Amino acid sequence: MSMAVMGRAAHFRAVVTEQVDHSTALAAPEVLHLVGISPSARHVSPAVLKGGGLLLDQVTVSVPATAYERR
C-alpha cells in the first residue's frame, strides 16, 4: 500500500461495498477498442476478431463500488 493511500486511510473508513453490474450493447468498433485496451490485446489481433465472428454485441461491466465516510 502506498504512503498516500495509507495517509487517506487514517481519515476515511469504508461504510459499504456493493457489486455493481451493468450490461450494455456495443457496436463492433467499440468491442474492438475494448479488446484492444485489455490484457487480451496481446493474445488476439483485430484482424482475427473482425474476420472470425468472435465479437459479442453485449458486455457486462462488473465493479465493486465502495462508499467512504470521514473518521
Within 10 angstroms of residue 13's Cβ, the number of other Cβ atoms is: 10
Q: What is the pLDDT of residue 52?
A: 62
Beta-ladder partners of 66: 17
The pTM assigned to this predicted structure is 0.53
Average pLDDT, stretch 64-69?
94
Q: What is the pLDDT of residue 18?
A: 97
Q: Report which of 33, 36, 31, 37 is spatially closest to residue 54, judged by C-alpha positions.
A: 31
Domain residue extents for the chain: 3-70
Q: What is the pLDDT of residue 5?
A: 66
Residues 6+ apart with CB under 8 A from 62: 19, 20, 21, 22
Are 69 and 46 spatial neighbours (Cβ–Cβ below 8 Å)? Answer: no
Residue 53 reports pLDDT greater than 70:
no
